[in-house]
Amino acid sequence: MTYHWTAHDRLELRPHRSLPMTGFAIVIMTFFAFITIPLTAMIGTVLLWGLLPFALITIAALWWGLRRSYRDAEILEVLELDGHDLVLTRTDPDGTTRDWRCNLHWVRVTKHDTGGPVPQYVTLNGNGREVEIGAFLSEDERPGLYDDLTRFVDRHRNRG
């Protein structure tokens, strides 16, 4: 699961990474090895110089695409209780942070089955704003997040 409660009043959400860094190295090295097999047959011919740039461009594009995927997945959303306020902080891949704060009494958790940017879209409403939470989660995880957030808000609202 790509979201978890680190404490009874703190939730961290991160995008799923299906390929660890060791897998990244293995993919690049395997692709390099497979692309050199046909190139070795061309050693000593003019055809090698025609194929070599395309092979190198392909490896560079694969490298760039995987690195971009890793960078885009460097999102962190933290939802925590701060006194009577619920605070959502999102840190984007470029390091910028955005905060949303609302008194827990006025927070409303909403799940949009359709009509959002993704199916099963989960939002928090309050303080005159509606903010998304966990839009990067899989379609199967978002309903569970909605249930967890609803229970969390209800439990802490009734406690105070």
pLDDT tens for 59-117 read 999 999 999 988 888 899 999 998 889 999 999 999 999 999 999 999 999 999 887 78
pLDDT at 159 over 90: no
SS3 assignment, position 118: coil
pLDDT band with cut points at 50, 70 and 90 for residue 17: confident
Residue ranges of E strands in 28-127:
76-82, 85-91, 97-103, 108-112, 121-126
pLDDT at site 1 = 56
List, for residues 27-58, the tens digit of each pLDDT value. Answer: 999 999 999 998 999 999 999 999 999 999 99
Model pTM above 0.85: no
DSSP codes joined into one string, 27-39:
HHHHHHHHHHHHH
Which amino acid makes up residue 133?
I
Dist CA 44 CA 93 (whole Å): 46
SS3 assignment, position 6: strand
